[in-house]
Amino acid sequence: MLKQVKEIYEYREMIYTLVRKDLRGRYKGSVLGFMWTFINPLFQLLIYTLVFSVIMRSGEEQYYLFLFVCLIPWMFFSASVTDGSTAILREKEMIKKIYFPRGVLPIAAVTSGFVNMLLTFIVVIAVTLISGRGMNPVAYLCLPLVMIVEYLLCIGVAFIVSALTVYFRDLQYILGIITMGMQYASPVMYRVNDDRVPAKFAWIFKVNPMTSILNVYRDILYDKVVPNPAELGYAFCLGIIFIVFGFWLFNKLQKGFAENF
Amino acid sequence: MDNENAIEVKNVSKAFKVYFDKGTELKEKLLFWKRNRFENRVVLDNISFNVKKGEAIGLVGRNGCGKSTTLKLLTKIIYPNSGTVELKGRVSSLIELGAGFHPDMSGRENIYTNASIFGLNRKEIDARLDEIIEFSELGDYIDNPVRTYSSGMYMRLAFSVAINVDADILLIDEILAVGDANFQAKCFNKLREIKGNGTTIVIVSHSLAQIEQICDRSIWIKEGHIEEMGLPKDVHLDYLNYMNSERIDRKEREEFAKINRGNRYGSQKVMFSDVHLLDAEGKDVKTIRTGDGVTLDLKYECKEPIEDAVFGFGIFRSDGVWVYGTNTRIDRKPNFDIKKDGSYVVKIDELNLIPGEYWMDVTIEFGEGNPVDYYKKALKFEVVSNITDVGICRIPHEWTLNI
């Protein structure tokens, strides 16, 4: 397995070019081009602000921010699952004809989503500061940590779903439904300990690997507290488990890729 | 793995599942799970070979014999069902040219994309960039988007990247058809240079002449096993011989009656019963290398005696050009009569014909050109060579240059 890791490292330039190609190609031909990366979340935020502070008032002060600091990391996760599931299928012509460590494809798919999230975070942080929410500098130091943990988890998940989808094509559509459901079994829209969440459903939140990560994001950005080390540590372990298991499974399954298209 | 070897293939077998009705969707899998019948088609059956460092080998064989599968196993695109494939060093493959090219990006940017798929990092690509651009002959076009390129320019760029990777092992599948004649010659020279630098090369090609010019060894794969391995020139002759005999046999069976009726005339008092072309070792051949020695071996049956008989033969090119003809009278052999069954041989020390397809007529006459058995197209054969001289026959010659 170490050999495979080393090989992927040797192909880092390929990951880089794939990510660049994806990011540059995304808004190709549009007038505003790359600006859409910022305009999109900005308007999304504007709509949430309107809806949740005028129509659907919530118990949380500044609910739009409460929602937004978790929604952006969640969207990165959900994009990693859906884009990741087709990462291998999309490049089947290349896989049939040329060798490269197949692992670079899901890694590149997740990385371009990650870069997109980082850019969106410029908007998130700017709005938190402007809206008068303020910041806790010590807590902010943990932000890169939780981002890396989420990145690892997403790569792990993408390894698993990209490899399985080759053998079982329906998975890409099933995953779309699963991630949609998972969003409501996560702390994106309400706190896990919210009164409205029945105690007998609490286990669903525990099963969701994103729960701890989202809690940490909210601690840092919304509640302005240094996240609980145990929660961050748990999330980190989960990330490691996913990436190790994912990579192991991926390497098992990748041998048959070229024959299953 | 032996230190001298760059590639070791040991007892490799590969079978593909050919589904009669394959379902990859959930619905199909659930509904038709009984219908998932398949047939195991064995493409490679227990093959083993080694390639030494710096050696160039060619894989030859008819379509579907498993040579491209072998190449795919070497590149690790697919994996064997049993056996092992080991390669040492960086592998570059000229199987798919221009992988990952993006039409909207410039030639220069695509060099980075394409080269990165071969596992080069930025520094390594930077170091090769000038050489790649120069080799591609694209000049100022290099900064234009690839979608504006002609297909020739596209292939030239793709080939330039692949060949400048500086791999330890280079795998090539039918690629030397890139660009115009000049560029092909340039690619070929580059390939020689690469080989000279100690790169191990494996080529799959139907152009045997190309393999002979580059490779030290040829492997003939027939129906999933290695039929023969050795010097390209020897292997190719056997391979062509096999291919021609298959083809000619088929044609002969179809045309047998026609040949006998339409291509044979004369009084038929004496008739050829057996016509063979033999090589130096006495084996029946249908393929000859320019300059090889052959023997024409003929048997005849005598139904009625004839006097003052004359044997002859003529060689024709497939387009009907009469290349050569002679008989026992022209060659001033003593006169003779035929009274019973017999045979004769004609030994040709050097058959200096230019590569192509030929046929041979054999004749028995009597007196002044009265046909007894005039057997047209009695034999068909092919001449091959790795020298590309032109005309009808190769005239022995020597150059002395005083420059």
Residues A18-52: tens digit of each pLDDT: 998 888 877 777 777 778 878 888 888 888 888 88
More confident residue, B202 or B1: B202
- My answer on whether B107 and B213 are in the same domain is yes
What is the value of ipTM here, to two decimals?
0.78
Whether A14 contacts chain B with CB within 8 A = yes
Per-residue confidence (pLDDT) for residue B30, from 0 to 100: 64
pLDDT at B33 over 70: no
**Mean pLDDT on A215-241:** 93
- My answer on whether B223 and B362 are in the same domain is no
Q: State how far the alpha carbon of B54 is from the alpha carbons of B8, B25, B200, in Å.
A: 14, 47, 4
**Mean pLDDT on B230-244:** 85
Show residues of chain B in contact with A96, CB under 8 Å.
Answer: 77
Tell whether B374 is covered by a domain.
yes
- My answer on whether B227 and B323 are in the same domain is no
- My answer on whether B25 and B168 are in the same domain is yes
Tell whether B254 is covered by a domain.
no
- My answer on whether B217 and B329 are in the same domain is no
- My answer on whether B320 and B230 are in the same domain is no
Say which of B24, B76, B115 has its CB closest to residue A169: B24
Q: What token pair was written down for A258?
A: 């070229």
Task: Check B24 against A100: CB less than 8 A apart.
Answer: no
Whether B275 contacts chain A with CB within 8 A = no
- My answer on whether B38 and B180 are in the same domain is yes
**Mean pLDDT on B63-71:** 87
| CATH, residue B216 | 3.40.50.300
- Kindly report the nearest CA distance between residue B207 and chain A, in angstroms: 21
DSSP secondary structure letter of residue B207: -
Tell whether B245 is covered by a domain.
no
pLDDT at A251 over 60: yes
Quote the CA–CA distance of A162 and A174 in Å, as a whole number: 13
**Mean pLDDT on A5-24:** 90
Per-residue confidence (pLDDT) for residue B83, from 0 to 100: 93
| Residue in A97, A98, A170 to test binding to B, most B beta-carbons within 10 Å | A98
Tell whether B342 is covered by a domain.
yes
Q: How far is CA B343 from the centre of its chain?
A: 36
Task: Check A14 against B75: CB less than 8 A apart.
Answer: no
For every residue of B221-286, DSSP letters joined together read: EETTEEEEEE-HHHHHHHHHHHHHHHHHHHHHHHHHHHHHHHTEES--SEEEEEEEEE-TTS-B-S
Residues in chain B: 403
| Residue that is written with structure tokens 């748990």 in the block | A234
Q: B-contacting residues of A 17-36, CB under 8 Å?
A: 17-18, 21, 25, 28
More confident residue, B358 or B25: B358
In the chain, the amino acid numbered A143 is: L
Last residue of a domain, one of B216, B237, B258: B237
| Residues in a beta bridge with B288 | B383
- My answer on whether B287 and B200 are in the same domain is no
B63-100 exposure pattern, b = at least 16 Cβ within 10 A, e = fewer? eebbbbbbbbbbbbbbbbeebebebbebbbbbbbbbbb
Tell whether B203 is covered by a domain.
yes
pLDDT in tens, B118-152: 888 899 999 999 999 999 888 899 999 999 998 88
- My answer on whether B296 and B229 are in the same domain is no
User: Do the beta carbons of residue A39 and residue A135 sit within 8 Å?
Assistant: no
In the chain, the amino acid numbered B109 is: E
Angle at A197 between CA A191 and CA A199, to 5 degrees: 115
- My answer on whether B86 and B186 are in the same domain is yes
Report long-range pairs for B326-329 (Cβ below 8 Å, ≥24 apart).
Answer: B327/B363, B327/B365
Cβ partners under 8 Å of residue B179, min gap 6: B152, B155, B156, B159, B187
- My answer on whether B72 and B160 are in the same domain is yes
Per-residue confidence (pLDDT) for residue A252, from 0 to 100: 93
Angle at A258 between CA A256 and CA A260, to 5 degrees: 70
pLDDT at B279 over 50: yes
Domain boundaries, chain A: 2-172+212-259
Task: Check B75 against A99: CB less than 8 A apart.
Answer: yes
Confidence at B253, pLDDT banded by 50, 70, 90:
low
pLDDT-wise least confident of A36-40, B85-89, B138-142, B308-312? A36-40
Q: With pLDDT > 90 as the criterion, what percentage of chain B qualifies?
A: 26
pLDDT in tens, A87-116: 999 998 889 888 899 999 999 999 999 999
Residue spans of beta strands (DSSP E) within B102-208: 169-173, 200-204
- My answer on whether B206 and B277 are in the same domain is no
Tell whether B250 is covered by a domain.
no
pLDDT at B99 over 80: no
- For the ranges A158-162, B2-6, B246-250, B382-386, the one whose mean pLDDT is highest: A158-162
Confidence at B153, pLDDT banded by 50, 70, 90:
confident
Tell whether B376 is covered by a domain.
yes
Quote the CA–CA distance of B248 and A187 in Å, as a whole number: 77
Domains identified in chain B, total number? 2
Q: B334: domain range?
A: 266-384
Phi/psi for B336 (5° steps) reads -150, 160
Q: B-contacting residues of A 166-185, CB under 8 Å?
A: 167-170
pLDDT at A65 over 90: no
Per-residue confidence (pLDDT) for residue B268, from 0 to 100: 82
Task: Check B26 against A258: CB less than 8 A apart.
Answer: no
| CATH, residue B303 | 2.70.50.60
Phi/psi for B44 (5° steps) reads -125, 135
pLDDT at A206 over 70: yes
With CA atoms as reference, the chain B residue closest to A15 would be B116
Per-residue confidence (pLDDT) for residue B32, from 0 to 100: 60
Q: How far is CA A20 from the centre of its chain?
A: 18
pLDDT in tens, A145-173: 999 999 999 999 999 999 999 999 999 99
Tell whether B252 is covered by a domain.
no
**Mean pLDDT on B277-291:** 87
Confidence at A201, pLDDT banded by 50, 70, 90:
confident
Per-residue confidence (pLDDT) for residue B257, from 0 to 100: 47
pLDDT at B23 over 80: no
Q: State how far the alpha carbon of B294 is from the alpha carbons of B318, B329, B381, in Å.
A: 19, 22, 12
- Residue A77 parent element (H or E): helix A63-85
